[in-house]
Amino acid sequence: MDNLMIGYLSLAAIGLAIYAGMHVAIALAGISFLGMWAITGKTALALNFVALAGTDSIAEYTFGVVPLFVLMGLAVSESGLGRDTFAIIARSMQRWRGGLGVATVLSNAVFAAITGISIASAAVFSKVAVPQMVAAGTSRTVAVGTVAGSSVLGMLIPPSLLLILFAILTDSSVGDLFLGGIGPGLVLALAFGVYLTLLGRFRPELFDGPRTMGGLDDTTPTFLIVPVLGLAALVLGGIYAGFFTPTEAGAVGAAAALALAFAMRRIGTSGAWRIAVQTGHITAAVCFLIVGASIYGRMLAFSGVPASVTGWAVSSGIGPLGFLFLFALIVAAMGTILDSSSIMLVTVPLAFPITQELGIDVVHFGLVTVLAVEIGLLTPPLGLSVFVVQATLRDQGVTLGEVFRGSAPFALIMVVVLCAVILVPGIATGLVGR
């Protein structure tokens, strides 16, 4: 059996193992090891290959950005700055039918600029925004759908953990990807806001219903939005102005977020310990996935599968646009059963060489990938943001079906924005200067 056939069989075995329920990192690393063993015929050589791939993948300086941005995001979430942001924005929009929904979208966009994790946004605004929207008369289905839908901004607007993961997988610039994420993020937030505004105009009954849940007392001083905006400006402004590398910006942002939380007396030693433990758990999980993906990527390259698939894609005449649409469709379909990180780890090492041969800009491909992956956060049966919202509000009687129904229009809007980004690369690459 030649190396190429072993590579294709390994790829099929990985897919079957993942769909059968095996942990993605174990499937990637374990089957890739067996593939290398079959290719080389030597156990010791295959083990050395796995060891080198594993250590190299997390020994890079760039990997340090992961725990630092996770730490910053958790510190911001724990300190209640998301609650402050929503209260201040909502206060100025409460007379606008559908305005609290728009305020949720805007708050998620601001919160995304300092967290980079969709799940954190979904958990925070489920507790903060849904009770106030429902108390103001908004349909509960619309309220929970708005929170689930707008939470995806956390993985698109920089700093984004998925963009960082993509940069590690493709050895590309984190700063360029962050810059590229601004355009699609703003377009998506605008599209969500327009949808909610039109819904309030043409379906007013969805915003004048009976009050069924308690709202929040609005006693938040307006000046409390300054720390949120200042932290975002410090981190992103520092990167774009060239003062910090992304890793340095993560360190500065994490230190600033913790300092703010302590200065505002929002967290104590127990809160700091909880943040540290959660950061360790998330970083370890991401680290394990990256190690598995590195072994998988190198096994594929050694077997010749990427070169073979690339040759097929080029000779088929599918072209850059055709490939991006096909890739986005496959990724979105995988999102129905896999989480975001797992999808990227499986697909990007195989697809990235094809994009390079087809002349697709890496920033453009990265943002198309993240958008397609994020659609899976809202689609059944495994819509992770939907599950987080429902779990947070389970005691209020919110069901999964209710959240899926409410978030369906937001998933459709994401599909439209994804098509726009594919057709108009400048949305993603304009700020990067390409």
Average pLDDT score over the chain = 84
Burial 373-386 (b: 16+ CB within 10 A, else e): bbbbbbbeeebbbb
How far apart, in whole angstroms, are the C-alpha atoms of residue 147 and residue 105?
8
Burial 204-230 (b: 16+ CB within 10 A, else e): eebbeeeeebeebeeebeeebbebbee
**Below-50 pLDDT ranges, the chain:** 211-214, 216
- The percent of the chain in helix, strand and coil, each rounded to the nearest 5, is 80, 0, 20
Angle between helix axes 65-78 and 118-135 (nearest 10 degrees) is: 20
Answer yes or no: pTM beyond 0.85. Answer: no
Query: Which H or E run includes 122?
Result: helix 118-135
- How high is the pLDDT of residue 214? 46
- Write out the E strands in 137-243: none
How far apart, in whole angstroms, are the C-alpha atoms of residue 153 and residue 410?
11
Yes or no: say if 44 and 61 are a contact pair by the CB < 8 Å rule: no
C-alpha separations of 29 from 7, 258, 299 in Å: 14, 36, 10
Q: Which residue has the tokens 């963009």?
A: 163
Among residues 164, 155, 148, 146, the alpha carbon closest in space to that of 113 is found at: 155
Instruction: Please give the share of the chain, as a percent, with pLDDT higher than 90.
Output: 19
pLDDT per residue as tens digits for the range 232-261: 888 888 888 888 888 888 889 889 989 988
CB neighbour list of residue 196: distance below 8 Å, 6 or more residues apart: 98, 101, 102, 105, 146
CB neighbour list of residue 52: distance below 8 Å, 6 or more residues apart: none
pLDDT per residue as tens digits for the range 93-132: 777 777 888 989 998 888 887 777 777 778 778 888 888 8
Yes or no: say if 268 and 290 are a contact pair by the CB < 8 Å rule: no
Work out the burial of residue 191: count CB atoms within 10 Å of its CB; fewer than 13 is exposed, 13-18 middle, 19 or more buried: middle
How far apart, in whole angstroms, are the C-alpha atoms of residue 144 and residue 94?
18
C-alpha separations of 240 from 234, 273, 418 in Å: 10, 32, 25
Among residues 118, 146, 149, the alpha carbon closest in space to that of 134 is found at: 146
pLDDT per residue as tens digits for the range 134-147: 888 888 999 999 99
How far apart, in whole angstroms, are the C-alpha atoms of residue 109 and residue 126?
15
3-state secondary structure of 396: helix
Among residues 276, 299, 380, the alpha carbon closest in space to that of 11 is found at: 299
Burial 57-72 (b: 16+ CB within 10 A, else e): bbeeebbbbbbbbbbb
The Cβ of residue 405 has, within 10 Å, a number of other Cβ atoms equal to 14
- How high is the pLDDT of residue 340? 80
- How high is the pLDDT of residue 51? 80
